[in-house]
Structure 1
Amino acid sequence: MGNQPMIVMSEDSQRTSGDDAQSMNITAGKAVAEAARTTLGPKGMDKMLVGSSGNVVVTNDGVTILQEMEIEHPAANMIVEVAQTQEEEVSDGTTSAVVVGGDLLGQAEDLLDQDVHATSIEQGYRQASEEAKAILEEQAIDVGADDTELLEQIAATAMTGKGAENAKGRLAELVVDAVTSVADDAGVDTDNIKIETVVGGAIEDSELVDGVVVDKDRVSDAMPYFVEDANVAVIDDALEVAETEIDTEVNVTDPDQLEEFLDREQEQLRAMVDDIVDAGADVVFAEDGIDDMAQQFLADAGILAVRRTKSSDAAQIARATGAQVVGNVGDIEADDLGFAGTVSQQSVGGSQQLVVEDVEDASSVTLLLRGGTEHVVDEVERAIGDSLGVVRITLEDGKALPGGGAPETNLALELRDFADSVGGREQLAVEAFADALESIPRTLAENGGLDPIDSLVDLRSQHDAGQSSAGLDAYSGDVIDMETEGVVEPLRVKTQAIDSATEAAVMLLRIDDVIAAGDLKGGQIDGDDGGDDGGPPAGAGGPGGMGGMGGMGGGMGGMM
């Protein structure tokens, strides 16, 4: 071969190696954390996310922000996955997990500059993570199903800083009532809690309905609007004459043929309704359409019917009433029917809704959420989703922790002591892990307009004195007992955040070579259009032209 280079990659391929690859990935991960950092805590700010189609989302929910940003950088997406995992597992703490992940990368960057090998950092981080989770387990507060007040505090804490905060007391009561209503020996199935939103009224007007609320009304005014002791049929089929699979044409040469054709259609529709009547159904929820003639036959039989029911609503009704979803009207039998004490059409928030109540076979409830505008209602729904999740996992685990940065401050103190028992350069990584955890109280202070250094000094002083539940009141700037003040979070929210953040940081640190098959598309890290505005941040795009994090159709330019 002589001195000729051997080319093993395509001309379009891009490769970034060694320190450049680590720096690029760390910078991308830190940029994601910075995007979400200002939303943390009771004084966290909101983000307005504008899509390419013009749709607007206003929220401070970490996972929603990161998903709507349409991040394309592969390393940055690993941090986004931290938020997604946190949301899927525990419903809350997404911003905290991302912030900790970003700070772990920042601390690791300093260690790498000191010639500490990435493997040593990885081992130290993993040891610190395991020790941190063990410490949290020891400090956790026991919570039982009868501790209603504590459960309401946990639900309210999950809403703090979000659009529903002004009414969090009322909403927390509804959330706890909803979760305890559907709880059984097997646990809590939140699928039995339906959330229905209504634009109009105040958030405080939200209510809990013991049953299922469907945003539909009966298909004919001739049908009853109230049915008591109802046998309920859920049908994934249309009560219409089936269309042929191929194009057909019917030629009618005289009126008798037309009448015969219409009679045949009428007979088919009557046969469908007769099957429903013979099964004993009083109420029908059809996922497809209902022909006008079939509507009349159903009304004549005194049956309340709803057409084009959403599949999610149909599944909810089936779970609530014990009905079996029938795929073909002709196959319906009495055993397929469910039961509800009442099914009625009611006016809720100025719109007609079908309310299925007093169910026997399964517990099911509906949270009716109210708000002045669509954006307000959407944010309340996200807050309620988080609260339902944290109450559920609290009941499952029976453990909780004080909030307000108290666990992180205490962990940092304990981990620094633990670091003394760790040999080698891993000790530096354990201490760095402790510093990264303090990013939570530091960010709470910054977002609250407080001096982060003074706040951290006060917190450390209280924890040194043995006040393990001392946290930062972002409103007053005082260090208070969070457990006494009712600022409480599930244990699993914290342990999951530490787990996810550690795994993501370690995975990025171990990457020393980035090979792209082609040019990765995407804007700069700050979401601009690539124009000359002074150049991208350090590492943005990175060596080799790695793609960045494109904003939502350019609508997020400069957000970071």
Structure 2
Amino acid sequence: MAQQMGNQPMIVLSEDSQRTSGDDAQSMNITAGKAVAEAVRTTLGPKGMDKMLVDSTGNVVVTNDGVTILKEMEIEHPAANMIVEVAETQEDEVGDGTTSAVVVSGELLSEAEDLLDQDIHATTLAQGYRQAAEEAKDILEDVSIDVDADDTEILEQIAATAMTGKGAENAKDLLADLVVRAVSSVADGNEVDTDNIKVEKIVGSAVENSELVEGVLVDKERVHENMPYLVEDADVAVLDDALEVQETEIDAEVNVTDPDQLQDFLDQEEEQLKEMVDQIVESGADVVFAQDGIDDMAQHYLAEEGVLATRRVKSDDATKLARATGATVVSNVNDIEADDLGFAGSVSQQEVGGSQQLLVEDVENAKSVTLLLRGGTEHVVDEIERAIEDSLGVVSVTLEDGKVLPGGGAPETELALQLRQFADSVGGREQLAVEAFADALEVGPRTLAENAGLDSIDSLVELRREHDAGNDAAGLDAYTGDVIDMEEEGVVEPLRVKTQAIESATEAAVMILRIDDVIAAGDLKGGQVDAGGDDDGGPPAGGPGGAPGGMGGGMGGGMGGMM
């Protein structure tokens, strides 16, 4: 970038920098965003397909979870990454709807492209999109259905809907029941902390053998063979400390001139360990979970006292144990008191999925539970875990908000209908942006139909007709191709999944549309910044993968092969 000063050019940017501005910058960014949406679009809906992602080390992930696909693809183009953030926000906030959010973002950009070609200013578009998004949230609130936290049937339907089209679908009824029971166990009124639900994957057996343990499963075993396998009515101590002799904090050297001195030294260490164990026994503890090490001699003393102990417990497991049993985590073993102990009806060592684990059950206040997920192979059980995490998210959100929407593209069709009517009341060119927003939302039902092998135009026409007639719960049954009442069918999703998707998709699209200058401090990996090709006649940006120009490294090679 150089400015002319008299006859002398003034260099403002470094030679390595690249700049794309005006229509070229907008076009490049829109193309990048659309390409991201296209990458995940075929995974949407109950008949969506999966993606196989292979990283540079050969690890394979098979999934149709939108956010997982986009993370694994290692997308590098900055505008494309803004769309990836939409999926990540959706995942963090509500746990499901990541693919829908990304596809809507891509469609908003696509609709905007046509309007930009008609010389409608990007700021006008942004204003219209924001107005439409605000109105859309009000419309969704009006058509939402109230749900009682005690209505387990609807909660199970919500959990099952979140799993539909994923690897867990065959056993979705059983898994939905487990998810609802798990969330209900840890719910505190309308507040749900899903961190209190531990998900353990076990390769082997069938998905149908998955189960819920009301308590905590710790992937550890007792440290000494003379310790009991089972302790009933257990008083549980959780230590953030080691049962070992303290090392001196400064470098010290001990000179031993007499064997008796060495023996005294060893006896003193033993005495220290014995005192620690005595302190634990005096507190009344008969089960010990230590986050640090336990000396061999301390293990021996604990075993003599009939105490079941394990060491090097992960800190999040220790937190769950404390929550479940009511114990207080003790940071110094010498300070342990009876009041610090928790209670469990049973602590036992059992074989789970081929390995020995400690199972803490029958806790009075099971505010921490464990979902044991089984599957025939590692890839299967990984995909089931992703489905379960989405499901846990939507059930938690429903308990917190108490509002749901029908699925099957029903909310999008109703929004499109009402937003077109709303557009008439919007003045100026923003009206065109609101209409474009309404058209963009119909990408949901259209994609559902396409992925199910149906005629998308016929399906959309039928959906519009039903909604025109006042049936706002009419959605598309991807299996039969019929338009049916989704509320009656039990296909529902939380209101917040849809409102969050529209909010984040709109914000990302507006941000991308308002960019008219891209200045890169250096070459974007794998390709030039500008969409047309480099200055010295090199190949267009995006690399050999076949992705649109300007997609850069990870998007060029990586995404080109994906689509």
TM-score band, normalised by shorter chain? over 0.9
Q: Give the TM-score, by structure 1 length.
A: 0.94
Asked if the contact 2:35–2:547 (Cα under 8 Å) also holds between the matched residues in 1, the reply is: no
Q: Residues 459 and 470 of structure 1 are in contact (CA less than 8 Å); yes or no, is this contact kept in structure 2?
A: yes
Amino acid at match of 2:35: A
What secondary structure does 1:184 align onto?
A: coil
TM-score under structure 2 length normalisation: 0.93
SS in 1 for 2:11: coil
User: Which of the numbers 412, 415, 440 marks the counterpart of 2:444?
Assistant: 440
- Identify which of 549, 554, 558 aligns with 2:554: 549
SS in 1 for 2:9: coil
Equivalence for 2:534: none
Count matched residues: 551
Amino acid at match of 1:373: T
Which residue pairs with 2:268 in the alignment? 264
Structure 2 vs 1, CA of residues 469 and 530 (structure 1 numbering), >3 Å: closer, same or farther? same
Match of 2:536 in 1: none
Query: In structure 2, what is the equivalent of residue 168 of structure 1?
Result: 172
The residue that corresponds to 2:403 in the other structure is 399
State the one-letter code of the partner of 2:549: G
Per-residue CA deviation, residues 385-416 of structure 1 (Å, 9 max, x unaligned), is 11111111111111001101111011111111
Corresponding residue of 2:95: 91
Q: Kindly tell me: are residues 530 and 309 of structure 1, through their superposed partners in 2, closer, same or farther at Cα, counting changes over 3 Å?
A: farther
Matches of 2:542 and 2:122, distance apart in 1: 35
Do the aligned residues in 2 keep the contact of 1:192 with 1:316 (CA within 8 Å)?
Answer: yes
Distance 1:208 1:369 in 2: 9
Distance 1:288 1:556 in 2: 45
Moved more, 271-280 or 300-309: 271-280
Matches within 5 A, 1:332-481: 332-361=336-365, 363-481=367-485
1:519 aligns with 2:523: yes
1:539 to 2:549 alignment? yes
- One-letter amino acid of the counterpart of residue 322, structure 1: G
Q: Which of 13, 18, 25 is the matching residue for 1:14? A: 18
Gaps in structure 1 of 5+ consecutive residues:
542-546
Which residue among 73, 76, 84 is the counterpart of 1:80? Answer: 84
1:109-133 deviation per Cα after TM superposition (whole angstroms, max 9, x unaligned)? 1110111100111111011111111
Match of residue 561 from structure 2: 558
SS in 2 for 1:356: strand
How far off is 1:24 after superposition? 1.1
**Aligned AA for 2:334?**
G
Q: CA deviation at 1:361?
A: 4.8
Contact 1:13 1:518 in 2 (8 A): yes
Which of 310, 323, 330 is 2:334 aligned to? Answer: 330
| Equivalent pair of 1:407/1:469 in contact (CA under 8 Å) | yes
Moved more, 369-378 or 500-509: 369-378
Q: Which amino acid aligns with 2:504?
A: S
User: Does the 8 A contact of 2:185 with 2:366 survive in 1?
Assistant: no
* Residue in 1 that maps onto 2:535: none
- Per-residue deviation, 1:54: 2.3
Cα displacement (A) at 1:536: 4.8
Counterpart residue type for residue 562 of structure 2: M
- Which whole-Å CA distance do the structure 1 matches of 2:547 and 2:185 have between them? 51
Check whether the contact 2:541–2:550 (CA below 8 A) recurs between aligned residues: no
Pair 1:532–1:58, CA change in 2 (3 A): closer
Give the superposition deviation at 1:248.
5.9
Paired position in structure 1 for 2:215: 211
> 1:229 Cα shift?
2.0
CA contact (8 A) 1:36 1:95 kept: yes
SS at match of 1:83: helix
Compared CA separation, residues 310 and 110, structure 1 to 2 (3 A): same
**Whole-Å Cα distance in 2 between the matches of residues 478 and 556 of structure 1?**
34
Q: Which deviations, in whole Å up to 9, do the C-alpha atoms of 1:35-79 show, x marking residues without a partner?
A: 111111111111112222222211111111111111111111111
Instruction: Report the residue type matching 2:435 in the other structure.
Output: E
* Greater shift in the superposed pair: 331-340 or 368-377: 331-340
Matched letter for residue 554 of structure 2 = M
Quote the sequence identity (%). Answer: 79
Pick closer, same or farther for the CA change 1:79–1:372 going to 2, 3 Å: same
Q: Which runs of 5+ in 2 are unaligned?
A: 532-538
Corresponding residue number in structure 1 for 2:280? 276
> Is the 1:339–1:361 Cα contact (8 Å) retained in structure 2?
no
Aligned-partner SS, 2:562: coil
DSSP-derived class of the 2:346 partner: strand
Query: 2: CA distance between counterparts of 1:391 and 1:274?
Result: 46
Report the Cα distance in structure 1 between the residues aligned to 2:559 and 2:257, rounded to whole angstroms: 65
Evaluate the alpha carbon distance shift between residue 23 and residue 201 of structure 1 in structure 2; reply closer, same or farther with a 3 A threshold.
Answer: same
1:184 is displaced (CA, Å) by 2.5
Counterpart of 2:129 in structure 1 is 125
- Cα separation, 1, equivalents of 2:74 and 2:248: 43
Return 167-176 or 241-250, whichever deviates more.
241-250
Q: Relative to structure 2, which stretch is displaced further, 254-263 or 389-398? A: 254-263
When residues 291 and 101 of structure 1 are mapped into structure 2, their CA distance, relative to the original with a 3 A threshold, is: same
User: Match of 1:230?
Assistant: 234
Deviation, 1:242, is 3.5
**TM superposition shift of 1:237:** 2.1
Instruction: Label 1:167 to 1:535 Cα distance change in 2 as closer, same or farther (>3 A).
Output: closer
